[in-house]
């Protein structure tokens, strides 16, 4: 099945009735996956077209512009994951100030019913919508009985006793706790970007690195060294070690924006301009300033040994998620 994607709700049309999964789907974590699975199953039973309605930019960026808000995934990554789950239609509604002013009943009437011909709505337990978030799952269920559509509410999804949520995942990533982030995501956290030219500092130390262009607006792990997998051009996967930070040993105080550098094990090709995806498996240590380049080189040797041990013990599920 080929998923059809609409980047503007104004251009969306359908002749068939739909089952609509609503949400922001940042990270497409285990809770989102449960919702999408239920949506697919229930739409099949009712002969409805499985449809996801999500928003870009994230509503928090429009509603709370003063806050520093970062996303788990780029829009392209979110589209890719939803596509892999077998949904028929994906509608990405531009979230604007005007859209935020729609009250919840107008949202139901004008968008879900008139525009999307929804006969089934699937939402998470804490979903809110409409002006000031006045619409909730109770109101949605109630008006559905009046307007002729069903509502399915997905209860909290828990992993090891913890409720899965995008906000918790962002927190774990910022703390550098990649294992907990992966537990709630159902896959390793990753950053996609293009390989760009750096200052070749790693090469001078004997450890050449690929410098990755970090997408704007993505949540970043705490500064430090990580064991990673790296996928090149959505094809081959290699083991490696990554440093994300400001390179204090060489560039103390000279760098404002963080740099992501990856040393790929047993790899000698030049990949400038190539698209890569870096999967963060476990943090090894915090970034620090060393007294000399030689001291840093010795530490990198130790870091590589540690990273190889971590990756040797990485479960098959981690690797299969990356390959998928």
Would you list the DSSP string of 171-205? HHHHHT-HHHHHHHHTS--EEEEEEE----HHHHH
Residues 88, 102: Cα–Cα separation, whole Å: 27
Whether residue 317 is predicted with pLDDT greater than 60 in this model: the reply is no
Domains of the chain (ranges, CATH numbers): 4-159 (3.40.50.620), 188-323 (2.40.30.30)
Whether residue 90 is predicted with pLDDT greater than 90 in this model: the reply is yes
Two tokens, residue 229: 């997998």
Q: What does the pLDDT average to over 99-116?
A: 96
Whether residue 259 is predicted with pLDDT greater than 80 in this model: the reply is yes
* Residue % of the chain over a pLDDT of 70: 95
Whether residue 310 is predicted with pLDDT greater than 70 in this model: the reply is yes
Query: What stretch of H or E contains 147?
Result: helix 137-147
pTM above 0.75, yes or no: yes
Q: What does the pLDDT average to over 251-275?
A: 87
pLDDT band at 198 (very low <50, low <70, confident <90, very high): confident
Q: What does the pLDDT average to over 196-209?
A: 80
User: What phi and psi values does residue 238 have, to the nearest 5 degrees?
Assistant: -125, 160
224 forms bridges with which residues in the sheet? 244, 286
pLDDT band at 316 (very low <50, low <70, confident <90, very high): very low
Whether residue 320 is predicted with pLDDT greater than 60 in this model: the reply is no
> What tens digit of pLDDT does each residue of 10-38 get?
889 999 999 999 999 999 999 999 999 99
Q: Single out the residue of 157, 158, 123, 156 nearest to residue 141, CA to CA.
A: 123
Residues 233, 227: Cα–Cα separation, whole Å: 20
Q: What does the pLDDT average to over 117-130?
A: 97
pLDDT band at 89 (very low <50, low <70, confident <90, very high): very high
Whether residue 215 is predicted with pLDDT greater than 90 in this model: the reply is yes
Average pLDDT score, the chain: 93
pLDDT band at 234 (very low <50, low <70, confident <90, very high): confident
> What tens digit of pLDDT does each residue of 60-74 get?
999 998 988 999 999
């Amino acid at each position: 099945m080929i998923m059809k994607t609409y980047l503007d709700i104004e251009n969306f049309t359908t002749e068939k009735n739909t089952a609509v999964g609503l949400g922001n789907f940042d990270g497409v974590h285990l809770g989102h996956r449960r919702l999408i699975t239920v949506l697919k199953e229930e739409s099949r039973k009712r002969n409805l077209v499985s449809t996801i309605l999500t928003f870009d930019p994230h509503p928090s960026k429009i509603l709370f512009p003063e806050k520093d808000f970062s996303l788990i995934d780029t829009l392209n990554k979110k589209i890719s994951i939803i596509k892999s789950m077998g949904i028929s239609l994906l509608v990405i509604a531009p979230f604007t100030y005007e859209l935020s002013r729609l009250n919840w009943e107008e949202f139901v009437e004008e968008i879900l019913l008139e525009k999307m011909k929804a006969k089934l709505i699937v939402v998470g337990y804490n979903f809110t919508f409409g002006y000031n978030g006045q619409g909730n799952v109770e109101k949605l269920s109630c008006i559905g009985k009046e307007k002729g559509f069903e509502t399915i509410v997905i209860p909290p999804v828990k992993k090891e006793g913890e409720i899965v949520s995008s906000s918790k995942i962002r927190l774990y990533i910022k703390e550098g706790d990649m294992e907990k982030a992966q537990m709630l995501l159902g896959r390793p956290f990753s950053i996609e970007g293009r390989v760009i030219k750096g200052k070749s500092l790693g090469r001078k130390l004997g450890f050449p690195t690929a410098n990755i262009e970090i997408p704007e607006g993505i949540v970043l792990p705490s500064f430090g060294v990580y064991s990673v997998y790296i996928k090149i051009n959505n094809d081959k996967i290699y083991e490696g070690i990554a440093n994300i930070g400001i390179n204090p040993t060489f560039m103390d105080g000279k760098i404002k924006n963080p740099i992501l550098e990856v040393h790929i094990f047993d790899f000698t090709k030049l990949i400038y301009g190539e698209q890569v995806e870096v999967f963060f498996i476990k943090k090894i240590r915090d970034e620090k300033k060393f007294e000399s380049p030689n001291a840093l080189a010795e530490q990198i040797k130790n870091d590589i040994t540690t990273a190889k041990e971590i990756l040797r013990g990485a479960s098959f599920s981690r690797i299969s998620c990356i390959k998928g």
